[in-house]
Structures are given as C-alpha cells and as structure tokens.
A and B are shown apart, each in its own frame.
Chain A
Amino acid sequence: MRRNYRNRVWASVTSRDNALLADLQRVLGDRVRADSAERALLRRDASVFEGGDAGPTCLCETTEEVQQVVRIALAHGRAVVPRGAGTGLAGGAIPLGAPVVISLSRMNRIVDVDTESRIAWVEPGVVNLDLTKHLTPLGYHFAPDPSSQQVCTIGGNVGNNSGGPHCLAYGVTNAHILAIEVVLADGEIVTLGGLDAEPSGYDLRGVFVGGEGMLGITTKVAVRITPNPPAVRTLLLSFDTPRDAAATVSAVIAAGIVPAAMEVMDQRITIAVENYVNVGYPRDAGAVLLAEVDGLPDGVEIDAQRISDIGRAHGATDVRQAQSDEERMLLWKGRKTAFGAVAQIAPNYYLHDTVVPRSKLADTLEEVYRIADEHDLAVVNVFHAGDGNLHPLLLFNGQEPGIYDRVHAAGAKIVEASLAAGGVLSGEHGIGVEKQPYMRQMFSDDDLDHQERLRHAFDPACRSNPGKVIPVGHSCADIQSLRATPEGVWG
C-alpha cells in the first residue's frame, strides 16, 4: 500500500520537476542530484521515521549558491529543507512534500579562528569533532559534544540546539553561538547576532538556534571556543541499581558541585558496551555512573573526592578513577559507542529523549522499565543524568509484524510519564516529526500560537522545512507548503 502511494508521488514529481531541475542546474551544474537512489537516500535521517519525499538535492558550496537555490525553489513554489549529516533522531531533516533539499556538507571550511577573542567562524558542514580536533593544538575546543560528534555537523547542532555529555557544566549549543549567517526563506541573506556582548534588538540569534531549519538556512556560524581545562578527573562509580546511581547524581548537585559531565548506564547497556569495545566496565554492576570534573588541579581533586564520597554514601560498590589520559579516553569511548553496541541485542532501536527534574530520575526510570515490560519490549538506558535527560532505547526487530505499533505505544507512554513527572518532550534531539503529536500535551493552543507567530516572523510563507515542530493542523500555511500530504511518518 505504502509503495503504491510512493510510486504515484514519484511519477508526478518527476514530470513536474524538469523546469525546476533545469533552473537549478544552470546554477550548480552537476551538483544537482535528482536520481532515484539519491532521493531514496535522503527520504530518511537517522530516526526510525519514514514517509519523507525528497525533491532535487543541491550540493551548495557557497552562501550565494544557497541563496540562488532558495530563490529558484521559491519561484517554482517549492519548499526547501537544509540537510547536514542526517544524524537527527527526531525526523527534523526528513523532507516532506518533495522540497528542494539543500545539502550543506560541502560547506565545510573552518573560515577563521581567533584565539584572542575566543571565536571561530565556521561553515555549517564542518563536522563537530573536526572543529575540536582543529582547535586542540591551539588549546581550545568546541564545548557541545553530541554522541554523534564524529559525524554530525555544526549547522545541524545549531538547528537542533544540540547537547552532549559535557553540556552539564558548559551549556548546550545556544550558549556557544555568537552570530549566524542565514539565508531566509525568501532568499535574503542576514547575519543574526554579532560578536559584541549584547547585539542590538531582539535576540534573533538565540531564537534561531534550535529552530530546526524552519527559520532559515544556516550558512556560516561564529562559535565561542572554550579553553581546554588544565586538569580533568574521570570517575566510574558502580552501583547495584540505577536508583542508587540516580540518587548519587541528585546528591552531587545538591552538594553544590557542578561536574563537567554525569552519565548513567544501566547493566544491560554496560555489558553490551563491554562486549563491543572492551573498555573495562564492570559487568556485574546494576548501573554505572561516569562522572567528570575539570578545572584547576587542586579544585578538581577536591571535587573528585567529594563525588566519590557521595557515591559511597549512596551505595556505590566500587569507585574507580582513571589514572591516565588513555584510561579516561577508554571510559568515554565506552559511553560514546553505546548506541552502536545495542546492535548486539537487537537490530533496531528507537531512542527517546525526554527530560525530568533530577529528583524524579529514579522513579521515571522505573516507570520506563515497567512500560517496556508492559509492551513486551527490551529497553536499555544510557543518559545524561546530570541534566535529568533520559535516553531510553527501545530495542526491537523491525521485521517483526506490528512491532512499530508497539514501539510507538511504549514511546507515547514514556513521554506521558516524563511530562507527568514535571519534565519536557525533548532535551536535545528536537521535536521534528517525532514529538510533533505530543506538543499539545506540553503546550496550550495559545502557547503554540505564539511559537507559530515567531516562526512566521522569519518565514511568513512557511517555505523552510515545513511540516515540523508545530502540530499538524495548527499551521495552515505549513500544509499549503507541502506538495504531497505525507502518508504518516511511521514506517
């Protein structure tokens, strides 16, 4: 059924695309891709969502090219969708209604690094970790470090206001963006924010970060670069239960310590990681807490000791402190490869991303296990505990008939439980199409109305990445921008 639907859409898109393609090719030559393989690839991102429908893909190399492509798309009545590495987990990059896809992966230059002012100008296609590697010899790094940092791009980080383990102390992407060059949906090029302390006017830069590509297309970014701390201590605390680990996290914060990172992994994922990369995690612990403190040497020693003491007071069965940089990197390698390790347990996973108050972490975790049991699904938990940011991974075999309905139902219950605990829909992955249906559970019609007014100030005709974030049915203009109404995003 779904295939028939797609074939129908493909046929209509192909016959109506010729004039559009010709105009795009006049600007980009062979850097316009419209073959079926390319379009099939770009229908999806790293999420479990299907239902995307890509128009021609434009591999832009300059801001002016992005501008020209946006204007051509506009002239042909087509929406545009920016595309980075496609690592998003909420379906934010999935093209809906056959828009022109603007790939920014070739705009990957680090334009300028100014260590005196602690600013770097970069293009949106720069890979997050590549920027930090470039800065390392200079003694600096880019603080936001999503788990996908080996692949994900700065433009995507801006779009999603991405987080990462070290955002506990350093803040998420928004705290590290000073200025953004943007091509608006009408083709105008504008710089939002600036390098001065408080740029004049409304904080358009701050609003743009996390706009999920619906406020315009990022073409250049001024990021704040952070000096590398002279001392770092990384601790691995073992517990009998995730509840003890969560209680330790709350107690550390309550004691006035703000570590650089506090990550919790439950037993199942710890064993999977250990099997996968063999970094020395304990297989017998019910949960482990990876805690890191950084700063000046004396204070770091004091805080590491206090975290160790607090952990033991809350039932830690073992506390191990990395004795070398190599050991520290190994401990982090385990955490950062966790999502890859789940392939040993099941071929597919669906990663949720809600946030709850820290004091509710343990109760919500137990609720997550109960919900997974109730839906006969395996679940593992690996998450940014310091921020209260849960990451339950529901594990399944996508070939099993009807499995997506069960996964979807369990996901909905997890979202409900998180909101009931005083939490929010997403901590760092965004709303995209994934959380769109839940937006009404967190926001009133009046709240959503104002979010839409904000969006319309940047993009009155809803031509940039339409059909995301704001619930379907709330935004009429968005629906008009979608050439083909998506069948539904669940595959």
Chain B
Amino acid sequence: MNEFAELVGSEGPVTVVGGKTRWHVGGAVHPDAREVRAPSGVVSYDPAEMTVTVRAGTTTAELTNVLAEAGQRCALPERGGTVGGSIAVGEHHLEVLGRGWLTTSVLQVTYVSAEGKIVRGGGPTVKNVSGFDLPRLIVGSLGTLGLLGEVILRTNPIPPKSQWLESHDADPFQVTSQVLRPSAVLWNGSSTRVLLEGHDPDVASSHRALSTIGSWTEVDGGFELPPYRWSLTPADLKQCTGDFIASIAVGTVWRNEPQPPRPLSQSVIDISTRLKTNFDPTGRLNPGRSVF
C-alpha cells in the first residue's frame, strides 16, 4: 500500500487503471490524468472465516480460481477485469440472488486519498458496525473519492449442485413464486434461463416445481451479456423491449446502449457534491468521471 500511496502522490490529476474492461462507465477521464495501477495479489485467505484479503489490481479470474480451489466464491462479477475495477463500477455478479450483493460483500476497504494518505474503512470481520460505512461509499464510486488498493471480501461456499435451465414458454415473472431461492432468473424477451443451486434433491424438486409453469431443458449457462448495465425496478422489467437481457427480481438489464441519465433530486446532488469536495477538494481523482 505504501508504494501505491507514493505512486498516487498528492498532486496532479490521476486515474487508476485495471483491466479497462468497463472503461466507458462514468464518462471519459481527462487526458492529462496520470495513469497508475493498484497493487495485485491475494494477501490472505482463510476459507473457514469466509473472507479474503485481496489487492485491488488482482484480476477477478485469479481471485475466482483461488476461491474455487477451496470450494468458495464471492459476489464479484466474473466478466474479466480486476477486483478494484469491478468494485469501482459497483457491478455485482449475474447470479446476485445466489451470491449476494457486492455492496454488502465488501467488508473493508483500504484506499489512497486525494492527499496521498492511506485510509481504511470498515473492518475485517463478517459483521461490523464500527464507525461510518466507508466501504459502502467506495463501492460504485468510480475512483472519484479514493483510489482502492486493498479490500476484504466476504466469500461463500460453492453449492454442491448448480444447474441452468431454459424455457421458451414459461412466464419469467412466475419463477420466483415457484422456486424458493433461484440464483439467477434471466430473460431476453423470448426465453428464460434459471440457475438452480443447492443440494441435489433441492435442485431436482425446484426443477419439478418449475415444470408447472413451462417446459425446461438443461443448458450450459446464462446468456451472453451486452456491455451496458441499466438499473430498473423489478416491476418495470415487464416493459422491456428490443435487445436486452433482464435479471428478473433484481432489476438489472444489459443492453447495447448506455442508460440515459436518471433524474436525481437536488438534495441528493448536494450531498454527493459535498462528498466529492470533502474527499477530493482539488478534483484530482479520476477527473472527468461522474457517478451520475
């Protein structure tokens, strides 16, 4: 972390680069911004604690492999890029219903502030309410409040059985009333794919329950996802048209074009502006990027 803090320094515009897999999110960074990379590598991992300490520059692929060797996984998306990048854009896994939300999975953050200082928020344990929740602030903040160097993430066991099913005739909005805890329900307007996970007999009984609302065949995985994430209410997904992949009961929709800016109240803008000013008074962190 010390080297990363020195690299970031305390003056001049600076931007942190991961895998550039979601570089479009939040707008273009000012061309004068100096590029830095966060440190990488898994620092410590004890599966029995269900937590992992990992540096932000680590690829999500490497982390996924390390966790899988111990039969675990986490809430980060497995769509390329780095741990820090995924947290910066606040993208949760496609299977969020089974893996949990990224926002509640980031237990501790260590970042470099605009003044070049190392700041830590949250705590190492799975449960913690010590002080204000800086981890929640950092997730999805696009590196505009601090440059993430290291995190502690909650992990979860990989279920004994995972099975994707597809139906062309089932109503996707009836799936969650038939299955207790599907890990994912995806819909592209014409077919529905459901991920069932758990003990073998539970997956089998959920499969049988689904058969009452349509015919299902086993498939290898979910759909290929378009690049842009939209955020809707679960109820609004019914109105989706065109090319899209919708995450039923979640509200995330992937499309080929970005979501138009959503209206925000002046009070939310005021708080957010003060946050940015308080954390980065000179506006040197990822200039040009905006969370709105």
Contact = CB atoms under 8 A, between A and B. Distances in A.
Contact of A209 (B92, B125, B133, B262): B133
B34 interface: no
29 contacts: A190-B268, A197-B251, A198-B229, A199-B231, A201-B272, A203-B103, A207-B132, A207-B133, A211-B133, A227-B180, A253-B49, A253-B50, A256-B158, A299-B198, A355-B126, A358-B49, A387-B125, A423-B123, A425-B130, A426-B130, A430-B129, A435-B130, A443-B130, A446-B117, A446-B118, A449-B119, A450-B134, A456-B274, A470-B131
Interface string A434-465: 01000100111011111101111110100000
Interface in A247-273: 250-251, 253-254, 256-258
Contacts of B120: 443-444, 447
Given A254-B48, A296-B205, A451-B134, A426 B128 contact: yes
Interface in B204-261: 205-206, 229, 231-236, 247, 249-252, 261
Nearest to B135: A206
Given A117-B233, A191-B265, A358-B49, A171 B100 contact: yes
A174 B102 CA distance: 12
Interface stretch (A33-41, A76-84, A160-168, A406-414): A160-168
Nearest to A167: B127
Contact of B119 (A163, A450, A456): A450
B137 interface: yes
Contact of B279 (A296, A429, A453): A453
Nearest to A439: B131
A50 to B, nearest CB: 23
B104 A211 contact: no
Contacts of A400: none
B1 to A, nearest CB: 12
A17 interface: no
Given A299-B198, A357-B125, A446-B118, A457 B271 contact: yes
B233 A192 contact: no
A355 B128 contact: yes
Interface residues of A, number: 90
Contacts of B158: 256
B199 interface: yes
A459 B89 CA distance: 26
Contacts, number: 247
Interface string A220-251: 00000001011000000000000000000011
Nearest to A438: B130
B275 interface: yes
B48 A358 contact: yes
Nearest to A249: B48
Given A188-B267, A444-B120, A174 B132 contact: no
Given A201-B272, A201-B292, A203-B140, A174 B206 contact: no
A256 B157 contact: yes
A15 interface: no
A82 to B, nearest CB: 16
The 4 lowest CB-CB distance pairs between A and B, nearest first, are A197-B251, A206-B136, A256-B157, A298-B201
A118 B118 CA distance: 40
B251 A196 contact: yes
A426 B232 CA distance: 35
A458 B271 contact: yes
B152 to A, nearest CB: 11
A374 interface: no
Contact of A195 (B90, B233, B247, B275): B233
A208 to B, nearest CB: 9
A198 B265 contact: no
